[in-house]
Structure 1
Amino acid sequence: MTGTQPTSDQVNRLDRLDPGDIAELVALAAAAGDTDGADPLDEQVLLRLRDERAPAIHLIARSADGTLTGYAHLDTSDAGSGVGVGLVVHPAYRRRGTGRALARQVLATADRPLRAWAHGDHPSAAALGVDLGFRRARVLWQLRRPLTAPLTEPRLPDGVVLRAFRPGADDDAWLALNARAFAEHPEQGRWGAEELRVRLAEPWFDPAGFLLAVESATDRLLGFHWTKVHERPGSARIGEVYVLGVDPSAHGSGLGKALTAAGLAYLREQRGLDRVMLYVDESNTSAVALYERLGFARWSAHVNYQLD
């Protein structure tokens, strides 16, 4: 979010995007991410761009010659938690008021409380948020570590084995486990069948990298480590601890540490990667401590701003 002068860009509202719009927006987000070192739109927004059934409002900013200069995404799917906002301005068109124009149009359009992510905690986003009355509500850290450094050996509890996720067979059991593991999480614990379906259909999905910890005698799911590999032309490949969860009944058994180590080994040995990242809430001190013990260090911060 940025902009200090009045802009001549035209901001238009769309309730549905065509393939050309989507391609332009993905390219815009990639250009901003390459410049800033942090992708400006999170995965949920990018998935919704391609899903015609996802309720959303799209605010498109264009210059007088029709060039796409900025975009704001309003996620209106959850009336109870307000409107989620993602906003990005093309690096070549910053400091000319485009971000501020989009933000003001967001305020004029939304009829519920707003939740906006500033990926990378950019100072311009913080300044604009303060100017418009937003409060800093939540911080998500991105941690990274090299995979070339020694890895901890996975040590599973007695009676627990690892196997790969089976699409179609494990869906319901995994969703139930995910809900238990993230009962207090504002987003992850609310995933349903649709959220899982769209991710299983993504080109990056690999069931071999979706590790399940199960009781060997009953095949009951106790935990999981879902890995992801980010691949973008012109950028180095990097692995991700995409989602890692443990059933509350298995807390304290060392399963979380073992699952983390197993996923890191998979990314290095099976996918040939030399670095990995993950996201964790600043307030989740136990998880932060676990990851730091496993060699992760802070890389960047993502801040959620709210306007009630």
Structure 2
Amino acid sequence: MSSAEPRVDQVTRADRLSPTEIADVLALARVAGDTDGADPFDEHTLLRLRDPDAPAVHLVARADDRALSGYAHLDTTDPGAGVGVELVVHPAYRRRGTGRALAGGVLAAATGPLRAWAHGDHPSAAALAVDLGFARARVLWQLRRSLTAPLTAPGLPDGVTVRAFRPGADDEAWLALNARAFAEHPEQGRWTADDLRVRLAEPWFDPEGFLLAVEESTGRLLGFHWTKVHERPGSARIGEVYVLGVDPSAHRGGLGRVLTAAGLEYLRDRRGLDRVMLYVDESNSPAVALYERLGFLRWSAHVNYHRG
């Protein structure tokens, strides 16, 4: 190999990472996210990365100076449904074969179907996916809206009130509602009590920003708008429509629009935010139409690639 040719970094496999290695991966993710304008890992991967007992395969790429140059996370919770993959390369170590070496490690480590997210829909990720036999299967849009623009707050349907979530008291009823509201969703509808518990313990969790629509006569939960605030040093604060759901029995009554507006007002008036984002599947036409009517515009795309 001539000195002019790029060196391929060494990729090693581990079933667990040390606390120092986890901190290094999180730091790498922050640098890549700041450079690319899109974080390389979704919340699910970040939560699992910090959980030493979560079943996963970790692929770590290091340069000659032992610096962390790249990382791939393989979620092996349900291999039959497909191993989830997220991969990132440090901006300072790109264009030297690191991404392709990590991808090769993924193919060697996993058996069965693979599901890989490319956050930001970068052309380099699309090219690598095509070269490795992955097919574009799903697109998740990030939409954004200014909170300084006027908000239209429709009135609540008769017999319905909105209150804050009560941790410990509303858990089971909310999980049941979430499962009904997202029965066809590949991830959200499968949440368990552990999935909820982990998020309720996150530093960002705010019960006052977890709004529930309740039928006054029975106390039955009809819908919800769970908001979230992203706060990171050096970045502007931004709110998120974290999860919005309505019981199928309460569809077509305008409750989704009411709950969306209530959450946006909370983020603006109670949390002092001036912008908000959300994620929605490109294929979910009713939800996309609702958000666009509420003033949301497309900001970026995240693509899920499948390989059988």
TM-score range, shorter chain: over 0.9
CA distance in 2, matches of 1:179, 1:155: 26
User: For residue 237 of structure 1, what is the aligned residue in structure 2?
Assistant: 237
Residue 215 of structure 1 and its aligned partner are, at CA, apart by: 0.7
How do 1:54-93 and structure 2 match up within 5 A?
54-93=54-93
CA distance in 2, matches of 1:168, 1:95: 49
User: For residue 100 of structure 1, what is the aligned residue in structure 2?
Assistant: 100
Residue 193 of structure 1 and its aligned partner are, at CA, apart by: 0.5
Q: Give the aligned residue type for 1:180.
A: R
For structure 1, the 5+ residue unaligned runs are: none
CA distance in 2, matches of 1:174, 1:205: 16
How do 1:204-223 and structure 2 match up within 5 A?
204-223=204-223
User: For residue 265 of structure 1, what is the aligned residue in structure 2?
Assistant: 265
Residue 6 of structure 1 and its aligned partner are, at CA, apart by: 5.8
Residue 219 of structure 1 and its aligned partner are, at CA, apart by: 1.2
CA distance in 2, matches of 1:218, 1:281: 33
Counterpart contact for 1:7–1:101, Cα < 8 Å: no
User: For residue 118 of structure 2, what is the aligned residue in structure 1?
Assistant: 118
Residue 112 of structure 1 and its aligned partner are, at CA, apart by: 1.6
CA distance in 1, matches of 2:239, 2:154: 18
Counterpart contact for 2:79–2:113, Cα < 8 Å: no
Residue 80 of structure 1 and its aligned partner are, at CA, apart by: 2.8
CA distance in 2, matches of 1:217, 1:53: 43
User: For residue 181 of structure 2, what is the aligned residue in structure 1?
Assistant: 181
How do 1:124-203 and structure 2 match up within 5 A?
124-203=124-203
User: For residue 293 of structure 1, what is the aligned residue in structure 2?
Assistant: 293
| CA displacement 1:228-272 (0-9 Å, x = unmatched) | 000010000000000000000000010000000000000000000
Paired residue secondary structure (1:249) = helix
Paired residue secondary structure (1:151) = coil
Q: Give the aligned residue type for 1:68.
A: L
CA distance in 1, matches of 2:129, 2:8: 22
| CA displacement 1:279-299 (0-9 Å, x = unmatched) | 000000110000000000000
State, as a whole percentage, how many aligned pairs show the same letter: 80
Paired residue secondary structure (1:280) = strand
Paired residue secondary structure (2:288) = helix
Counterpart contact for 2:80–2:113, Cα < 8 Å: no
Q: Give the aligned residue type for 1:293.
A: R
User: For residue 38 of structure 1, what is the aligned residue in structure 2?
Assistant: 38
Runs of 4+ in structure 1 deviating by more than 4 angstroms, as ranges, are: none
Counterpart contact for 1:225–1:241, Cα < 8 Å: yes
RMSD between aligned residues: 0.9
Residue 155 of structure 1 and its aligned partner are, at CA, apart by: 1.7
CA distance in 2, matches of 1:261, 1:57: 41
Counterpart contact for 1:8–1:64, Cα < 8 Å: no
Paired residue secondary structure (2:142) = strand
Counterpart contact for 2:10–2:62, Cα < 8 Å: yes
User: For residue 283 of structure 2, what is the aligned residue in structure 1?
Assistant: 283
Residue 20 of structure 1 and its aligned partner are, at CA, apart by: 0.5
CA distance in 2, matches of 1:256, 1:34: 33
Counterpart contact for 1:154–1:262, Cα < 8 Å: no
CA distance in 2, matches of 1:53, 1:184: 28
For structure 2, the 5+ residue unaligned runs are: none
| CA displacement 1:141-166 (0-9 Å, x = unmatched) | 00000000000114211100011001
**296-305 or 212-221, larger mean C-alpha shift:** 212-221
| CA displacement 1:179-210 (0-9 Å, x = unmatched) | 00000000000000111011001000000000
CA distance in 1, matches of 2:41, 2:227: 20
| CA displacement 1:85-107 (0-9 Å, x = unmatched) | 00000111111100000001100
Q: Report the TM-score when normalising by structure 1.
A: 0.97
Residue 8 of structure 1 and its aligned partner are, at CA, apart by: 2.9
CA distance in 2, matches of 1:154, 1:278: 20
CA distance in 2, matches of 1:126, 1:173: 41
Residue 169 of structure 1 and its aligned partner are, at CA, apart by: 0.6
Counterpart contact for 1:100–1:128, Cα < 8 Å: yes
Paired residue secondary structure (1:286) = helix
